[in-house]
């Protein structure tokens, strides 16, 4: 590393090259590491006395998996890798007297289905693939698993008898009992997004879980029903941001599937309002602070309570296409919106209902922004057609 030069290298033949996307080192040896990819597991060994690399491939037969995560147990005896198919593949590392490591495929492991109903209606594979693994060093029969559909499992490895029919040379079918490793779920929790990282801090009696939606959760290791969100942030594009009138303690952001209310003091998420498969394009507060007004890609306006997150009212078909711009008046009785089709509309809102007051068609392109003057008597709208129009709201 100090000289910044490679020690050695080796070109793998094209016939066994494969596509490598994961690397993992052993725990007790510095000269051996594994390279894993789609349909290939290869053990690499650095032979310092010869200054060269050597490799051995694991014969997987007809097993072809897309590898998502990989872990080696504390004794460097087994390798477990999670796959997009939803199973966990177990590979044994055989070490001979000379210290050479040879990988050997053992089995593909799934969930243990206890009842006949589960065996009939459920799959033993984990939903949306296994995306995170953790093997505790002090509990060799325990494993933590994260899946693509947001489930976190604590499982126990166990052996169960399996009877497979075997046909002899004489055509006689008999059953030969054998044992197979399965994963018996002990605990399970459901989170949002794909599970990306699991780290049990058992000395703290906590399990930390990271997700693809930029959130970190902490579980009580004794009771998974008790967990808390300790960190989160926006995980995609932010399409809008706004502060309430004359108050800088909180602000709201708009993005894919959500409106989120944040503390401006410590950056903590205070409220999350979700609408599945929709994009919130604009977010604003009514001047009295009693509602959060949001514009969405499905052409609707939705108003939520900033305290409970309850939906207060919804303006269906506010625009025939997406709502792309919005502003509210100072008396909290009107909302001015702009749409993807180029129209600007004025809405009257009240606890008893809402109705459209006017619809203007001067713009020829998407309405990109709407702003009010100080007394809400006029507003100005801009458009992608290059025009700005001032509207009299009196």
The residue extents of the domains of the chain are: 14-232, 238-392
Determine the CATH number of domain 14-232.
2.130.10.10
Q: What is the pLDDT of residue 383?
A: 96
Q: What is the pLDDT of residue 177?
A: 57
Confidence bin at 153 (pLDDT 50/70/90): very high
Q: What is the pLDDT of residue 370?
A: 95
**Residue that has been written with the tokens 């779920």 in this structure:** 185
Query: Over pLDDT 90: what percentage of the chain?
Result: 47
**Residue that has been written with the tokens 């949001």 in this structure:** 294
Q: What is the pLDDT of residue 102?
A: 84
Residue 202 has pLDDT above 60, yes or no: yes
**Residue 374 φ then ψ, to 5°:** -65, -35
Cα 235–chain centre separation: 9
Out of 2.130.10.10, 3.60.15.10, 3.40.50.2300, 3.90.1580.10, the CATH code matching 238-392 is: 2.130.10.10
**Residue that has been written with the tokens 């909290």 in this structure:** 332
| 3-class secondary-structure state, position 15 | helix
Average pLDDT over residues 188-200: 91
More confident residue, 106 or 379: 379
How many CB atoms are closer than 10 A to CB 340?
19
More confident residue, 139 or 170: 139
Beta pairing partners, 69 = 82
How many CB atoms are closer than 10 A to CB 356?
13
CB 369 within 8 A of CB 389: no
**Residue that has been written with the tokens 């590491």 in this structure:** 33
Mean per-residue pLDDT over the chain, rounded: 86
CB 348 within 8 A of CB 355: yes
CB 37 within 8 A of CB 67: yes
Highest mean pLDDT among 61-75, 202-216, 368-382: 368-382
Distances (CA, A) of 273 to 212, 293, 323, 381: 18, 11, 18, 27
Q: What is the pLDDT of residue 163?
A: 58
Residue 164 has pLDDT above 70, yes or no: no
Pick from 48-62, 124-138, 300-314: least confident: 48-62
Average pLDDT over residues 61-86: 87
How many CB atoms are closer than 10 A to CB 385?
13
Q: What is the pLDDT of residue 169?
A: 47
Residue 348 has pLDDT above 90, yes or no: yes
Average pLDDT over residues 145-164: 85
Confidence bin at 318 (pLDDT 50/70/90): very high
Q: What is the pLDDT of residue 162?
A: 67
Q: What is the pLDDT of residue 345?
A: 96
Q: What is the pLDDT of residue 170?
A: 47
**Residue 255 φ then ψ, to 5°:** -160, -165
* Helix intervals (H) in the chain: 116-121
> How far is it, in rounded angstroms, from Cα 360 to Cα 232?
41
How many CB atoms are closer than 10 A to CB 30?
9
Same fold yes or no, 14-232 and 238-392: yes
Closest CA to 65 of 37, 90, 92, 42: 37
CA angle centred on 13, ends 8 and 15, rounded to 5°: 155
Residue 171 has pLDDT above 60, yes or no: no
Which tokens belong to 52? 């060269």
């Amino acid at each position: 590393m100090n000289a910044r030069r490679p020690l050695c290298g080796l070109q793998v033949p094209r016939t066994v090259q494969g596509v490598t996307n994961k690397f993992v080192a052993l725990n007790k040896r510095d000269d051996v590491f594994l390279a894993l990819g789609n349909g290939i597991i290869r053990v690499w060994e650095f032979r310092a006395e010869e200054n060269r690399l050597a490799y051995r491939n694991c014969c997987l037969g007809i097993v072809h998996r897309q590898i998502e995560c990989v872990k080696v147990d504390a004794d460097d005896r087994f390798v477990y890798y999670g796959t997009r198919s939803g199973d966990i593949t177990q590979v044994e590392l055989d070490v001979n007297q000379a210290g050479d490591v040879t990988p050997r495929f053992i089995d593909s492991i799934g969930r243990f289905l206890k009842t006949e109903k589960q065996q009939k209606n459920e799959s033993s594979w984990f939903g949306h693939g296994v995306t995170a693994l953790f093997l505790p060093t002090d509990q060799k029969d325990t494993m933590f698993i994260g899946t693509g559909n947001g489930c976190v499992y604590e499982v126990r490895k166990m052996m169960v008898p399996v009877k497979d029919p075997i046909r002899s040379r004489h055509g006689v079918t008999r059953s030969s009992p054998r044992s197979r490793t399965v994963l018996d779920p002990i605990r399970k929790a459901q989170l949002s997004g794909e599970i990306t990282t699991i780290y049990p801090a058992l000395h703290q009696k906590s399990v930390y879980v990271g997700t693809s939606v930029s959130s970190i959760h902490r579980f009580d290791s004794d009771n998974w029903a008790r967990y808390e969100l300790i960190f989160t942030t926006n995980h995609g594009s932010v399409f809008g941001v706004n502060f309430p009138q004359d108050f800088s303690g909180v602000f709201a952001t708009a993005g894919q599937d959500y409106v989120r209310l944040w503390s401006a003091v410590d950056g903590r998420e205070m409220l999350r309002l979700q609408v599945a498969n929709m994009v919130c394009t604009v977010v604003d507060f009514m001047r009295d602070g009693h509602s959060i007004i949001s514009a969405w890609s499905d052409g609707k306006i939705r108003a939520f309570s900033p305290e409970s997150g309850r939906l207060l009212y919804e303006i269906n078909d506010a625009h025939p296409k997406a709502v792309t711009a919005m502003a509210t008046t100072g008396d909290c009785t009107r909302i001015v919106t702009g749409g993807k089709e180029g129209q600007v509309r004025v809405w009257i809102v009240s606890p008893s209902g809402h109705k459209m007051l006017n619809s203007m068609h001067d713009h020829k392109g998407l309405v990109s922004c709407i702003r009010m003057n100080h007394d809400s008597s006029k507003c100005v709208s801009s458009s992608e057609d290059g025009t700005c129009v001032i509207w009299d709201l009196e």
